[in-house]
Amino acid sequence: MYVQELCSSWIDTPFWQKSFILADAEELKKIQATRIRHAWIDISRGLDVLQEGVEKPPTEPPVEFTPKPPSASIVPPRQISAVSMDDELGRASAIVSKSKQAVFTMFNEARMGKVVDVGNAQTMVEEIADSVMRNPGALIGLARLKTKDDYTYMHSIAVCALMVALAKQLGLSEETTREAGLAGLLHDIGKMMVDADILNKPGKLTDAEFVSVKEHPMAGYNMLKEAKGVSAIALDVCLHHHEKIDGTGYPRRLKGDEISLYARMGAVCDVYDAITSDRPYKQGWCPAESLRKMAEWSTGHFDEKIFQAFVKSIGIFPVGTLVKLESGRLAVVVEQQVGKSLLLPKVRVFFSAKSMAYITPELIDLSRMGSNDKIATREDAAKWGIKDINRYWLGDTANTR
């Protein structure tokens, strides 16, 4: 049978593809081992359901395969409620893990010349977007914790999540927000046409190597043009996410209003994740330091209004930022407070600058009435000899990654 869709969350299915041929008994067992009980099948692309009088092979537990009517309506928009960082971290971690494998497969199929399956990519985007809607800091924070080896794939997931958060801040519709997320997921697919040795080179690129890298937007655009169902937004962001407001970007040296809203969004999200990530040629900057650097570049590089909205979407002190409080304690930012001051996030204190000693970690809501502590300065972890501050905001999830 041709399975059009398994009736469950994508993260709960054993396959990364949304649609696929089910022709193997072992694959059927994988589905039966899950909690999935229904699926849509496309009888024009596979066999119909069993006919009356034909003995049905026993299955345990039963799985009902229902033909999908051609005119079936799309599932109505889901109501997504905000949750705490602790409540979302585990699910976000699972989404990141499965998405990384799916992006790896999709990008490598593109490298081999296969047409990009946008339908499967859209399923990924839905799960990522839902997680960001529940709590943006969880998945965005986890996606930042990438290695040099999986950078290209994790970067795509991170930019997808950042685009969703930014679109939400800008008040874009749900449909447009998901299209922006898909654009973020696919924006760097053209790098599959760039030699891996160039992408992972630890030293400075030669002029010829830099020219090769600068060809990736057009290469990605040409790939996506061949795929079915790729929106104009995804094509635009793929081709123009390296354009700059002052006209010094590439590939077309567009400037000002010549650059679309979505390409301007892509430029901000792409640069932020790139400079906060460890690369073969440099260590990633702290999230708050990265925003400070981007603010210095914003006049010529970014649309200032888009950049300001981006800061609001992730916070002045994004999740994972090391700060010093007025009390003299060091803390890591754990969660932004929706609807509250960007200067008053939730933090976890763990070190006393006065006694130069670690203290029992404690979660503090700086916005809570009666809280007398405030953020005094952003700090550099290396200055204090702190090697792993991420475990202080990850909590129990730190042991699963």
Q: Are 310 and 268 in contact (CB under 8 A)?
A: yes
pLDDT recorded at residue 97: 94
pLDDT tens, per residue, the chain with 401 residues = 888 878 776 556 766 566 778 877 878 887 887 878 788 888 777 776 655 554 444 444 444 444 444 444 444 555 788 999 999 999 999 999 999 999 999 999 999 999 988 888 998 999 999 999 999 999 999 999 888 778 989 999 999 999 999 999 999 999 999 999 999 999 999 999 999 899 989 888 999 999 999 999 999 999 999 998 899 999 999 999 999 999 999 999 999 999 999 999 999 999 999 999 988 778 889 999 999 999 998 678 999 999 999 999 999 999 999 999 999 999 999 998 877 888 999 999 999 999 999 999 999 999 998 888 999 999 999 899 888 888 888 874 443 32
pLDDT recorded at residue 73: 40
**CA–CA separation, 265 and 28 (whole Å):** 42
Kindly give the pairing relationship between strand 64-67 and strand 38-41: parallel
pLDDT recorded at residue 130: 96
Q: Write out the DSSP string of 109-144.
A: HHHTTPPP-HHHHHHHHHHHHHHHHH-HHHHHHHHT
Global pTM reads: 0.81
339: region left, alpha or beta (phi > 0 left; psi from -120 to 50 alpha): left
Look at residue 163 and give its three-state secondary structure: helix
**Taking the CA atoms of the chain, what radius of gyration do you get in angstroms?**
23
The closest of 233, 170, 190, 11 to 102, measured between CA atoms, is: 11
Query: Which domains are present in the chain?
Result: 2-67 (no CATH), 85-314 (1.10.3210.10), 322-399 (no CATH)
